[in-house]
Every structure is written in C-alpha cells, then in structure tokens.
C-alpha cells in the first residue's frame, strides 16, 4: 500500500473517529450520547472502543441502533493484555470486532490477543505509543500483527502533552515494516473537551462498516486535525500536493530528510516537492495550517 492510493481510489472521503469511550467503560457519556455528539459534529462514522477489561465485563458496545442516514458505527474495543516494556498492560485498538469476540485467555499475551482480533476482522492499531512510553522493541513486538500506529491522540495531548505517535511509526518504517499506516483519533472520554481534535478521512465507495474497514486495512485514508489533503500525485521525481489553505506542506522521510514549501500567511494550497532524497525509501506528507493544525498522509514509497 502507498499513501498516494487514497487519492486515486474510487469513492469519497468519510470522516471518522475509531477510538472513543462511553459509560460502558470509563467514559462520561452513554453510547447514544457519544454517537449523537459525533454525528452532530458532522462525522460520518464512529467506533466506540470501550476498554475490554473484566472491570467493565469485557464490553463490545452495541451501537447498531444509533446508525442512520449519513452516519454509521463500527463495533470494536480497546483490548488489553500483559505487558509492554514499562511493565504495564498494552493498549491496542481493535476496530471491527464481532460482538461475540472472546475475552483474553488465562495468561494470554498481547501478541496473541491482537492476532485473534485481526483474524476476527478487526483493524488493529498500536494505541497512543508516546503516552505509553513505548520503545522500538515494543513496536517490533506488534509490528507484524498491527495494521497501523496511532499517530495522534487528542485526549493524551490535552491531558499529558503526549499526543503525537509519529516517532514510533517512523522507526518501524525505517526497519522495513512498509505495511504500517498511521491514524489520528480522539480517545475521547468526554470528561474534558477531548472530542473533535483528530480524525481519519477514509476513502470508500459507501459509508458502510465493511467498506470502511476494508479501506482502512488497505491504507486508503489520511488523518487530520483540520487541514484537508486534496490530492497527492507523482510527476517524475516530484510529488505534487494540493491542500486546503496551509502554512506548510512538507515531505518527511528517514532521518532528517525533508522537503518543505512554506507561506507565513497560510495561503499555500499546493506544493511541488522533490522525491530525490527519499527515492527507494519511504516518506510522508505533513500539512500545517495557520492555526497550527496538522494533517498527515500515510507512508509513500517512491521508486
């Protein structure tokens, strides 16, 4: 998969959040209230990912009744098992679980639980790596089973200043895990204003759970806090990017490799960025608007 493919694939972009909590675990609002909030903010889809823990009776929150015209839901959970490098339980997002997914087996480790979730049809993401202080060794442990790394988490940013997870994604890309993508999410518990701060824009032909999940697994999305990425194309050894008004459009890659277009007044809507320094490797597009809000493409692999 390649981050450019989201802009050439059939369909349209659907805005969604796949990491959210309700009163079924440690959230402040009921499932219906959470769905109503996100629908009211103009979201196309939502996954309520309550904590899959015995304290909450291993919930996979049923949100089917809150689907309607223009808004759908995906069943899922934030799954947990021992143990990361900090001696704490793992937090892994499983978006697209069946309602009868089995709780962790006795002494089951996360590598096994995450594999079961993936095999059951879930889009599997390594949640808030910076908040958890995950190391590259942690990333390696789950790199082959995960579809993606959580590169932005609104709640973690507001509560601890540890919202950005791009470092782990980049390190894993450096090691050749080219199947991994990066998604933004809120992890909203709604005890603080942690909703609407980061989302996925998923390219699919319909706003149906199966179509959205298939597109996520194929990497057909970009992520944003506000800016829109309208097109990413290649012309020879140049990457052509079109966006909503921005201050910066940058191509970042291994180490300090980067190519950047910049307009202080935030009037930038396109850029032509050289791919020569990242040819045969990986890169990502990052956009920043005049409010400091970011958008991220999925990894791109130039010839």
Same domain, yes or no: 209 and 236? no
pLDDT in tens, 120-146: 999 999 999 999 999 999 999 999 999
pLDDT at position 176: 98
> What's the whole-model pTM score?
0.97
Same domain, yes or no: 142 and 77? yes
Same domain, yes or no: 240 and 102? no
Read off the pLDDT of each residue in 157-180 and give the average, rounded to a whole number.
Answer: 98
Q: Report the CATH number that the domain containing residue 238 is assigned in CATH.
A: 2.60.40
Same domain, yes or no: 62 and 125? yes
Same domain, yes or no: 279 and 146? no
Task: Supply the range of the domain harboring residue 246.
Answer: 229-296
pLDDT at position 204: 99
Q: Confidence band (pLDDT; 50, 70, 90) for 21?
A: very high
Same domain, yes or no: 135 and 156? yes
Among 191, 223, 255, residue at a domain's last position: 223
Same domain, yes or no: 143 and 239? no
Q: Taking the CB of residue 283, how many other CB atoms lie within 10 A of it?
A: 26
Structural domain includes residue 45: yes
pLDDT at position 123: 99
pLDDT in tens, 203-224: 999 999 999 999 999 999 999 9
pLDDT in tens, 76-104: 999 999 999 999 999 999 999 999 999 99
Among 203, 223, 243, residue at a domain's last position: 223
pLDDT at position 134: 98
Sign of CA pseudo-dihedral 259, 262, 266, 267: negative
Same domain, yes or no: 173 and 99? yes
pLDDT in tens, 223-271: 999 999 999 999 999 999 999 999 999 999 999 999 999 999 999 999 9
Q: Please tell me the distance from the alpha carbon of residue 168 to that of residue 173, in angstroms, as a whole number.
A: 9
Among 208, 223, 238, residue at a domain's last position: 223
pLDDT at position 97: 99
Q: Confidence band (pLDDT; 50, 70, 90) for 292?
A: very high
Written in H, E and C, the secondary structure of 119-133 is: HCCCEEEECCCCCCC
E-strand spans in the chain?
12-17, 45-48, 51-52, 72-79, 92-95, 123-126, 148-153, 181-185, 199-204, 221-224, 229-235, 238-246, 248-253, 258-262, 268-274, 283-288, 294-296
pLDDT at position 106: 96
102: burial class by Cβ within 10 Å (0-12, 13-18, 19+)? exposed
């Amino acid at each position: 998969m390649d981050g450019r493919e989201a802009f050439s694939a059939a369909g349209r972009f659907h805005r969604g959040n796949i990491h959210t909590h309700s009163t079924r675990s440690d959230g402040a609002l009921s499932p219906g209230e959470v769905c109503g909030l996100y629908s009211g903010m103009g979201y196309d889809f939502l996954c309520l990912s309550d904590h899959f823990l015995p304290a909450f009776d291993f919930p996979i929150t049923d949100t089917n009744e809150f689907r309607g015209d223009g808004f759908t839901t995906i069943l899922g959970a934030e799954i947990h098992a021992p143990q990361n490098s900090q001696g704490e339980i793992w937090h892994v997002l499983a978006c697209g679980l069946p309602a009868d997914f089995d709780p962790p087996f006795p002494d089951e480790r996360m590598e096994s639980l995450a594999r079961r979730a993936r095999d059951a049809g879930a889009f599997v993401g390594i949640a808030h790596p910076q908040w958890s202080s995950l190391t590259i060794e942690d990333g390696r442990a789950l790199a082959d089973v995960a579809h993606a790394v959580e590169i932005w988490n609104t709640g973690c940013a507001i509560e601890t200043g540890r919202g950005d997870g791009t470092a782990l994604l980049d390190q894993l890309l450096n090691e050749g895990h080219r199947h991994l993508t990066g998604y933004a999410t809120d992890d909203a518990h709604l005890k603080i204003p942690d909703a609407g701060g980061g989302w996925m824009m998923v390219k699919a032909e319909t706003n149906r759970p199966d179509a959205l999940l298939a597109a996520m697994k194929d990497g057909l999305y970009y992520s944003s806090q506000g800016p829109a990425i309208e097109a990413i194309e290649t012309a020879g050894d140049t990457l052509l990017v079109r966006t909503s008004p921005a201050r910066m459009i940058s191509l970042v890659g291994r180490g300090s490799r980067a190519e950047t277009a910049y307009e202080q007044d935030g009037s930038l809507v396109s850029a032509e960025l050289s791919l020569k320094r990242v040819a045969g490797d990986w890169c990502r597009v990052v956009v920043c608007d005049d409010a400091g809000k970011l958008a991220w493409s999925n990894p791109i692999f130039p010839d």
